[in-house]
């Protein structure tokens, strides 16, 4: 029990003086002096206009590239993690790409089963019960044997979410998850993520640590708990909902602007 209490005090994500490179050009800095702490169970929303570097920060957080400078710890372990011996620690982190990043030659069922087959050495038949349960819980059952090419963007993203959740990660990163979704799907995502963050989801009894990026803060004001604004090569840690609303207009104004009629 003492070990569990100690683990609970360890930040899920801790960055000290981190410089973030661009994913498509890792030598080019897009963010500097990032000092950011995410506690286990936090629900963070990182907002910024296109091109400000929020997706690059998320990809670094996911361990896809190292910092150009500074230190990044994930549950106390230095990131990124590439060596095989530390892979179980790395798999505590899940990532949902903006486009889903599905394999077009595989069915929905096979895409979602892929992490179980690759990382847990399960066959498709061995993974099938776990996969089917998850697909049904996420309303994806009717498309289990369809390929991504026959699905719309709304469902692509949801399949990507299911694949990220199949290994039951402790932290989940989501790159612009609401982008391009129909309103019904936006509501589904917000409700589903809120359940995950509270530990009230049927998928997981404990709260999961969440970090989502967006260019529009408005739909996230209710489910989000902590907020950061990415602007001018800086991550501005704003804090709570109330602090977002009180923040200077030049920092959050464009991210809260009403849609022009």
Does the residue 98 lie in any domain? yes
Handedness of CA 30, 258, 217, 204 (dihedral sign): negative
pLDDT tens, residue by residue, 64-91: 999 999 999 999 999 988 888 888 999 9
Q: Report pLDDT digits (tens) over 119-172.
A: 999 999 999 999 999 999 999 999 999 999 999 889 999 999 999 999 999 999
Q: Is the pLDDT of residue 2 over 60?
A: no
Asked if residue 253 has pLDDT above 90, the reply is: no
Is residue 245 in some structural domain? no
**Is the residue at 104 inside a domain?**
yes
Considering the domain boundaries, does residue 46 fall inside one? Answer: no
What SS3 state is found at 79?
coil
Angle at 251 between CA 250 and CA 253, to 5 degrees: 65
The mean predicted confidence, pLDDT, of the chain is: 90
For residues 96-112, average pLDDT: 93
Mean pLDDT, residues 46-66: 94
pLDDT of residue 178: 95
pLDDT band at 4 (very low <50, low <70, confident <90, very high): very low
Q: Could you give the number of structural domains in the chain?
A: 1
Longest dimension (CA), the chain: 56
Between 149 and 261, the higher pLDDT residue: 149
C-alpha 214 chain-centroid distance: 11
Report yes or no: 131 and 109 within 8 Å, Cβ to Cβ: yes
Lookup result for tokens 């800095």: 29
Q: Give the other-Cβ count within 10 Å of 30's Cβ.
A: 21
Nearest-CA neighbor of 158 among 125, 134, 122, 127? 134
What would the mean pLDDT of 197-209 be, rounded to a whole number?
Answer: 85
State the pLDDT confidence band at 3, using cuts at 50, 70 and 90.
very low
Distance of alpha carbon 69 from alpha carbon 107, whole angstroms? 40
CA dihedral of 243, 246, 247, 252, whole degrees rounded to 10: 100
Q: CB neighbours of 60 closer than 8 A, spacing ≥ 6?
A: 18, 20, 21, 66, 67, 72
The predicted pLDDT at position 244 comes to 78
pLDDT on residue 78: 94
Instruction: Give the pLDDT confidence of 229-246 residue by residue, as tens digits.
Output: 999 999 999 888 788 777
3-state SS assignment for residue 34: strand
Comparison of pLDDT for 142 and 204, the residue scoring more: 142
Which helix (DSSP H) or strand (DSSP E) does residue 112 occupy? helix 108-119
| Domain limits for position 147 | 93-168
pLDDT greater than 50 at residue 256: yes
**Section 16-29 average pLDDT:** 94
Assess if residue 158 is contained within a domain.
Answer: yes
Distance CA 63, CA 82 (A): 8
């Amino acid at each position: 029990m003492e070990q569990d209490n100690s683990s609970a005090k360890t930040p899920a994500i801790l960055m000290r003086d981190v410089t973030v490179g661009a994913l498509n050009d890792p030598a080019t800095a897009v963010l500097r002096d990032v000092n950011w702490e995410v506690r286990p169970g936090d629900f963070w929303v990182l907002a910024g206009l296109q091109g400000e570097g929020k997706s690059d920060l998320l990809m670094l957080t996911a361990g896809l590239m190292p910092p150009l400078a500074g230190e990044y710890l994930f549950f106390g372990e230095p990131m990124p993690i590439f060596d095989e011996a530390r892979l179980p620690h790395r798999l505590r982190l899940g990532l949902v790409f903006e486009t889903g990043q599905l394999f077009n030659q595989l069915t929905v069922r096979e895409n979602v089963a892929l992490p179980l087959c690759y990382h847990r050495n399960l066959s498709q038949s061995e993974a099938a019960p776990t996969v089917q349960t998850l697909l049904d819980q996420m309303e994806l059952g009717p498309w289990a044997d369809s390929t991504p090419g026959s699905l719309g963007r709304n469902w692509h993203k949801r399949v990507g979410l299911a694949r990220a959740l199949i290994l039951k990660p402790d932290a989940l990163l989501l790159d612009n998850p609401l982008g391009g979704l129909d309103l019904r799907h936006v509501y589904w995502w917000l409700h589903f993520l809120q359940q995950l963050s509270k530990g009230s989801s049927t998928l997981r009894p404990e709260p999961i640590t969440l970090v989502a990026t967006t260019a529009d803060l408005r739909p996230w004001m209710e489910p989000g708990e902590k907020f950061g604004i990415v602007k001018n090569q800086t991550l501005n840690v704003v804090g709570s909902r109330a602090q977002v609303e009180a923040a200077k207009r030049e920092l959050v104004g464009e991210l809260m602007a009403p849609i022009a009629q």
